[in-house]
C-alpha cells in the first residue's frame, strides 16, 4: 500500500507576515472623561484639605436644623455645616454633627458656646429677623479655654454677652428677683450701660445673686461706694413725706431694670469717696429702691431707745422717720402696747433706732452710762421731748419729732435699762382734741333746754304782738288815715300863712325890724348907764352931780 503522506502534497496554511505598526495615539473621545477625572480628583483633594474636625452639639429640639443646609456662622462668616441630626438614645434631646472648616480648629475650646439663631420675641427685644428669609443657622461664641473638646451642649437662647465684649461683670445680692430677667437693662443716670446676664438662687434659699455686665468705658463708674437698686416698673411710695413717684425709663415698666450710682456724700459727713473703679466680680447689695440704696452709711448697730406714748399711734408704722428739727436721725423699728396695772391704763411703747453720728455723737462715748445719763438728763431739763406729728394730712401718716418744749411739764428719763427710755409729750393733734373736749364739756353745761323754752315763749309773745300790730294797722287804714290827711292839709295851710308872714316886705317883718332897732338903742343907753354906775356908784343914792348935769 502506498504511502499517502508521501504522495500527497502538503496542505498547511501560509504563515501570516508580522510587521511592526507605528506609535498609537488616543482618540479625542477619551479626553473628556480624563479631564473630568482630574477635576474630580482636584476637588477631592481640595475638600480633604479644607475639611476640619467634626463636633457634636446637643440641642433640645431639631427645630431649624437641616442636614447639609444649616450653616454654622461666626460674625456672619460661615465656618461649618450641619452634617447630620440624630435623636439621642434617651430621646431627651437631639445630637447635631457639625463639620467645621480646617480654619475653625480654634473653636474647639471647651467654653465655646453654640445656639440656634431663629426669630425670637422676648421682653428684652426681638432678634433673628434675618432668618425669616435665609433660614435658621447656628451661632457661635468663641471660647478662650486652653482645653479642647468635640462634644458641646447647645444653648436654647443666645447669650446676652459674648466673650469678645469689653467690660466687667459684677455680682449683686438681692432678696428677690422682682421683674428682672436675663437681658434686663442696667442704667446709670437713666443711660443704659449694661444688662443682666445671669441669676441664680443661693443654696440657703433666702436670697439670690445676679450677675450684671457693664460695658466699657462705663465699667469705670462702678466704685466701692456705688449703690445698686431695683429700677423695675413704677416706684410709688406713700409715707409721711407724701406721695413719691420714681421710674428710670419707659422700658423698665415692662421688663424691669437695675440702676446704679455713687451717693452724693456731703462734705460735712467726714466720709471720703472711694477712688478708682471696682474689681471685676465684686459683690454689691441690690436695694429695693433708690431711697434705700442712698441712705447714709451709719453704724452697723444703731442705738435703740424706747418712747412711751399715751396717745393713739394710728398712722405710725415701722420705718417712719425720726426727725430732729428737719434732720432725719433714725427710724421707727417696732410699735407695741403695754398694760399698766398700777394705773389701770395702757401705753404704747415705740422702739426707735437712733444714729448718734447724725447728731454729732460718738457711739463709743455713749457706751459710757454716766456720759449717756448726763446728756439725756441735760436735754430733758431743757425740755427735749419726742412728739407724734402728722407728716401728711391726706394719708394720715405720722412721724416722730424731737424738739425742745420749755413749757412742757417735768418728765423723767431712764438710761440704765436695756434700752434708754426718753420723755415724750402729747402731739398737737391731741392738744387740739383735748381743747375741743373741754369746749364740748362747757357746751354740755349750757342749759339749752331752758333757753329753748324761753326762746319759745318769747317767740309766742312776738307772735301775739305782731297780731296786735296787724289789727292796729287795719284800724289806722280805716279811721286814722283820713284824719291824718286833714291834719296834713291844715299843716300845709299853716305853712303857707307862715310863708306870707316871713316874707321880706311883710308888715310883720318891718315892725320886727323897727322893734329890733329900738332894742338896739335901749341896749346902748343901758350900756352907758352901767358904765356910769361903775364909775360913780354913789349916784344911786345922791343922784347925778350938778356939774355933770346938762
How does residue 364 score in pLDDT terms, banded at 50, 70 and 90? Answer: confident
Greater confidence (168 vs 28) lies with: 168
Kindly report the average pLDDT of the chain as a whole number: 79
For residue 431 the three cell numbers come to 392738744
What the block records as the C-alpha cell of 8 is 500527497
Strand pairing category for 321-324 and 397-404: parallel
Strands 235-239 and 242-246: antiparallel
Q: Report pLDDT digits (tens) over 178-225.
A: 888 888 889 998 889 999 988 888 887 778 999 999 999 999 999 988
Cell 421710674, residue located: 247
Confidence of residue 237 (pLDDT cuts 50, 70, 90): low
pLDDT of amino acid 537: 73
Residue 168's pLDDT band (cuts 50, 70, 90): very high
Cell numbers placing 265: 456724700
Query: Per-residue pLDDT tens for 31-44?
Result: 777 878 888 787 77
User: Shortest CA distance to 350 belongs to which of 413, 299, 304, 383?
Assistant: 304
The answer for residues whose C-beta is within 8 angstroms of residue 74's C-beta and 6 or more apart is: 104, 107, 139, 140, 142
Confidence label for 365 from pLDDT (cuts 50, 70 and 90): confident
In this prediction, residue 1 carries a pLDDT of 45
Contact 342, 336 (CB under 8 A): no
Q: Which pLDDT tens digit goes with each residue over 288-332? A: 888 778 776 655 568 888 999 988 888 888 988 898 888 888 889
Question: Could you report the per-residue pLDDT of 9-22, keeping only the tens digit for each?
Answer: 556 666 666 656 55
H/E segment holding residue 378: helix 369-381
Separation of alpha carbons 326 and 338, rounded Å: 30
Q: Answer yes or no: are the C-beta atoms of 421 and 306 closer than 8 Å.
A: yes
Q: What is the pLDDT of residue 271?
A: 46
Tell me what pLDDT residue 269 has: 42
**Lowest mean pLDDT: which of 27-31, 165-169, 230-234?**
27-31
Closest to 323 measured CA to CA, from 357, 358, 349, 375: 358
- Write out pLDDT tens, residues 366-397: 777 788 888 888 888 888 898 988 877 677 78
Give the least confident one: 47-56, 198-207, 231-240, 537-546: 231-240
- pLDDT at residue 87, as a whole number: 92
Model pLDDT, residue 253: 57
In three-state secondary structure terms, 171 is strand
Report residue 50's pLDDT band, with 50, 70 and 90 as the boundaries: low
pTM: 0.51
Kindly report, residue by residue over 67-96, the tens digit of the pLDDT: 989 999 998 898 899 999 999 999 899 999
pLDDT digits (tens, 9 = 90+) for 415-431: 887 888 888 888 766 66
pLDDT of residue 218: 92
Contact 429, 390 (CB under 8 A): yes
* Percent of the chain scoring above 90 in pLDDT: 15
What CA–CA distance (Å, rounded) separates 63 from 82?
13
Residue 433 C-beta-side C-alpha neighbours within 13 Å = 7
More confident residue, 518 or 148: 148
Average pLDDT (152-167) is 85
**What was the pLDDT predicted at 468?**
77
- Which span out of 175-184, 277-286, 394-403, 533-542 was modeled with the highest average pLDDT? 277-286
Q: Are 96 and 82 in contact (CB under 8 A)?
A: yes
Strands 51-59, 125-127: pairing is: unpaired
Buried b (16+ CB within 10 A) or exposed e, 365-397: ebeeeeebeebbeebbeebbbbbbebbbeeeeb
pLDDT at 270 over 50: no
Dist CA 134 CA 303 (whole Å): 68
Where is average pLDDT lowest: 5-14, 402-411, 435-444, 513-522? 5-14
What band does 7 get if pLDDT is binned at 50, 70 and 90?
Answer: very low
CA–CA separation, 26 vs 44, rounded Å?
A: 26
Would the CA dihedral through 329, 335, 337, 338 be positive or negative?
Answer: negative
pLDDT: which is higher, 419 or 47: 419
Amino acid at each position: 500500500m502506498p504511502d499517502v503522506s508521501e504522495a500527497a502534497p502538503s496542505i498547511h496554511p501560509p504563515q501570516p507576515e508580522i510587521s511592526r505598526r507605528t506609535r498609537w495615539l488616543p482618540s479625542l473621545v477619551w479626553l473628556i472623561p480624563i479631564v473630568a477625572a482630574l477635576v474630580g480628583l482636584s476637588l477631592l483633594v481640595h475638600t480633604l484639605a479644607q475639611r476640619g474636625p467634626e463636633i457634636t452639639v446637643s440641642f433640645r429640639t431639631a427645630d431649624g436644623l437641616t442636614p447639609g443646609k444649616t450653616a454654622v456662622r461666626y460674625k456672619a462668616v460661615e465656618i461649618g455645616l450641619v452634617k447630620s441630626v440624630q435623636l439621642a438614645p434617651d430621646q431627651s434631646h437631639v445630637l447635631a454633627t457639625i463639620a467645621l472648616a480646617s480654619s475653625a480648629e480654634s473653636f474647639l475650646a471647651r467654653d465655646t458656646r453654640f445656639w440656634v439663631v431663629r426669630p425670637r420675641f422676648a421682653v428684652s427685644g426681638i432678634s433673628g429677623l434675618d432668618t425669616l428669609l435665609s433660614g435658621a443657622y447656628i451661632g457661635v461664641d468663641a471660647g478662650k479655654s486652653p482645653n479642647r473638646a468635640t462634644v458641646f451642649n447647645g444653648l436654647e437662647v443666645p447669650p446676652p454677652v459674648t466673650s469678645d465684649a469689653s467690660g466687667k461683670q459684677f455680682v449683686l445680692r438681692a432678696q428677690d428677683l422682682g421683674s428682672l430677667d436675663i437681658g434686663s437693662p442696667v442704667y446709670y443716670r437713666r443711660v443704659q450701660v449694661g444688662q443682666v446676664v445671669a441669676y441664680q438662687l443661693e443654696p440657703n434659699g433666702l436670697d439670690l445673686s445676679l450677675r450684671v455686665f457693664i460695658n466699657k468705658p462705663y465699667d469705670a463708674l462702678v466704685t466701692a461706694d456705688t449703690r445698686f437698686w431695683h429700677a423695675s416698673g413704677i416706684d410709688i411710695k406713700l409715707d409721711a413725706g407724701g406721695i413719691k413717684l420714681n421710674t428710670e425709663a419707659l422700658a423698665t415698666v415692662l421688663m424691669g431694670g437695675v440702676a446704679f450710682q455713687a451717693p452724693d456724700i456731703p462734705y460735712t459727713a467726714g466720709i471720703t469717696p472711694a477712688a478708682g473703679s471696682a474689681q471685676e466680680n465684686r459683690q454689691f447689695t441690690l436695694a429695693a429702691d433708690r431711697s434705700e440704696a442712698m441712705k447714709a452709711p451709719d453704724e452697723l448697730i444703731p442705738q435703740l431707745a424706747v418712747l412711751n406714748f399715751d396717745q393713739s399711734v394710728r398712722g405710725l408704722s415701722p420705718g417712719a422717720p425720726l426727725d430732729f428739727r428737719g434732720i432725719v436721725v433714725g427710724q421707727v423699728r417696732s410699735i407695741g402696747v403695754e398694760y399698766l396695772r398700777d394705773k389701770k391704763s395702757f401705753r404704747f411703747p415705740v422702739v426707735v433706732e437712733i444714729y448718734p453720728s447724725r447728731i454729732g455723737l460718738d457711739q463709743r462715748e455713749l457706751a459710757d452710762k454716766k456720759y449717756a445719763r448726763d446728756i439725756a438728763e441735760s436735754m430733758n431739763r431743757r425740755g427735749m421731748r419726742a412728739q407724734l406729728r402728722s407728716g401728711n394730712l391726706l394719708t394720715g401718716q405720722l412721724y416722730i419729732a424731737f424738739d425742745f418744749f420749755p413749757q412742757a411739764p417735768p418728765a423723767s428719763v431712764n438710761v440704765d435699762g436695756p434700752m434708754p427710755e426718753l420723755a415724750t409729750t402729747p402731739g398737737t393733734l391731741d392738744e387740739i382734741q383735748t381743747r375741743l373736749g373741754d369746749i364740748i364739756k362747757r357746751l354740755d353745761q349750757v342749759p339749752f333746754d331752758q333757753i329753748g323754752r324761753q326762746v319759745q315763749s318769747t317767740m309766742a309773745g312776738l307772735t301775739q304782738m305782731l297780731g296786735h300790730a296787724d289789727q292796729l294797722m287795719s284800724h289806722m287804714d280805716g279811721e286814722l288815715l283820713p284824719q291824718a290827711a286833714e291834719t296834713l292839709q291844715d299843716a300845709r295851710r299853716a305853712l303857707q300863712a307862715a310863708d306870707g308872714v316871713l316874707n321880706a316886705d311883710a308888715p310883720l317883718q318891718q315892725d320886727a325890724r323897727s322893734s329890733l332897732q329900738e332894742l338896739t338903742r335901749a341896749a346902748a343907753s343901758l350900756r352907758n348907764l352901767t358904765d356910769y354906775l361903775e364909775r360913780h356908784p354913789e349916784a344911786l343914792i345922791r343922784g347925778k352931780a350938778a356939774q355933770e348935769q346938762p
